Copies of this chain bind each other. A is one copy, B any other.
Amino acid sequence: MKFDGLLMIPGPVHLHERIIRAMNRQMIGHRGKEFGEIMEYCVERLKELFGTRGDVYIISGSGTAGLEAAIASFSKVRRITCVDNGKFGDRLGRIASRYTETDVVRFEWGQPVDLEVVERSLAEGSEALAFVHNETSTAMLNPAKELSRIAKKYNALVIMDGITSVGGDEVRMDEWGIDVAIVGSQKCIGAPPGLAAVAVNDRAWEFYSERCPFYLDLAAYKKKLPDMQTPYTPALPLFFALEEALRMIEEEGLENRIRRHRLLSKAVREWAIEAGLQLFPQPDELSNYSNTVTAIRMPDGITDKELRGTLQREYGIAISGGQEHLKGKIFRIGNMGNVSKRHVIATLAAVQDVLMRYNACKPALHAAIEILKEL
C-alpha cells in the first residue's frame, strides 16, 4: 500500500488536521467585517511571535516575497551589508543588490559568522545590515542579538530573516533592536505555504524608498492596516489556515512551543551523535545549532538517493537533502510547526533502519527517547 505522507522537511510542514480543516470553507468578501476580524487576530498574534509592538503586514506570497518587501521598501541606504553563511544568506545579497550597493560578507556554509568581519563592513559605510536568524540550509542559528548590537553602533537599519525561527524559537525584535523581521507561514507557525509576514518598527520608515516594487511596497500595506485590510486581494484560504495555526499557538503557549521545538531538535541531534553520525554545522560560542532543523553529514557507504528514496518509498517519510554544493553531502530533518515526539521518533527509526542496512550508523533511538521523555 501507499502510505500517507509525513513531511519532515524544513517547510512546507506537515499540517495539523485542524489547520487543514480551517480551509474547508466558502470564500468571503475580502473588504468585509469577517475578514477584518481574521486579519486583526493574525496581526496581534504575530506581534507576540516577533516580540514587537510595531506593525505587522501580511503579504500573499512566499517568504522570499516578504524578504524582498522588507529589503526593497527600506532601501534608502547608501549601502547594505548582507551576512551570508548559507543559501538564504546568499539570497539576501541577491535581493538587496537589485536595490542598493550591497556588501556581501561571506563565510563558509555551516561556519559561524565572524562578528569582527561584519563590523568592518558596517564601518566602511553601510547604513543597513541584513542577516538570516535560522539558516535552514545548514541548520545553524546565527547570533541575532549580537549582530543587531553591532549594527546599532553604526546606526544601521537591522533586517532579520526570521522565516524559520519566528513561532518556533525565541525572537525578541524590540528587545534585540531588530527594526524589520520576516516570517513565512509554512515553517514554525505550522500553516500552509503562501503567506509572509513582515514586522516593522517606526524607525524603519526613515529608510523608506519609493523605488520598490508596487506589489511589495510596504507603504501600501501600512495604509490599509488601520482598516485591517490588504492592498491587494488576499489569499483567503491561507488566512483561514493562518488564523487557526495561530490559535493553536495561543493554546499551546509560545514558551511551551519554543521548549518543544528545542527538545525535538535536541533529540535528533543526540540520536545522530549516539548513532555515530556527524552534525554538519559548527557553531561557536555565540551561534548555535538550529532548534527547528537538523543537518547531518551523509555517512560513507550510502547515497542521498538511497537514503531519501528508500525512506519515501518504504515509510512515506520525506526529509530534505542538501542544497547547492551541499547536495548529496548532508541530509536535513525539520521539526517545525506542530510536529510531535511521535513524528520525530518515527522519522529517526526509519532513517536509522535505512542507514543500518548500509552499515552507516549504530542503533541510537534510546538517546532520542531519553530527551523526548521531557515532553
Chain A residues in the interface with B (C-beta under 8 A): 4-5, 7, 9, 11-15, 20-21, 23-30, 32, 60-65, 68, 72, 94-95, 98, 184, 186, 192-195, 211, 213-216, 232-238, 241, 318
Majority SS of interface residues in chain A?
loop
- A27 near B13 with CB under 8 A, answer yes
Provide the residues of chain B in CB contact with A94, threshold 8 Å.
214
> Contacts A184-B233, A213-B98, A232-B64 known; A4 to B23 CB distance under 8 Å?
no
Q: A26-B15, A27-B7 in contact; A237/B233 too (CB < 8 A)?
A: no
**B68 A214 Cβ-Cβ under 8 A:** yes
Q: Can you list 8 A-B pairs, Cβ within 8 angstroms, ordered by A? A: A5-B28, A60-B65, A61-B61, A61-B215, A62-B233, A98-B211, A194-B194, A237-B241
Residue pair B30, A193 in contact (C-beta under 8 Å): yes
Which of these, B32, B62, B214, B237, contacts A318 with CB under 8 Å?
A: B32
Min distance, Cβ A158 to any Cβ of chain B, angstroms: 20
With known contacts A232-B65, A241-B237, A28–B11 Cβ distance under 8 A: no
- Min CB distance, A248 to chain B, in Å? 16
A145 to B12, CA, bound (A): 42
A63: chain B residues within 8 A (beta carbon): 232-233
The 4 closest A-B pairs by CB, nearest first: A194-B235, A62-B232, A213-B213, A64-B232
Whether B7 lies near A214 (C-beta < 8 A) is no
Most B C-beta atoms less than 10 A away, residue of A21, A98, A193, A195 = A193
Query: How far apart are the CA atoms of A11 and B233 in the complex, in Å?
Result: 9
Bound together, the chains give a CA A192 to CA B232 distance in angstroms of 14
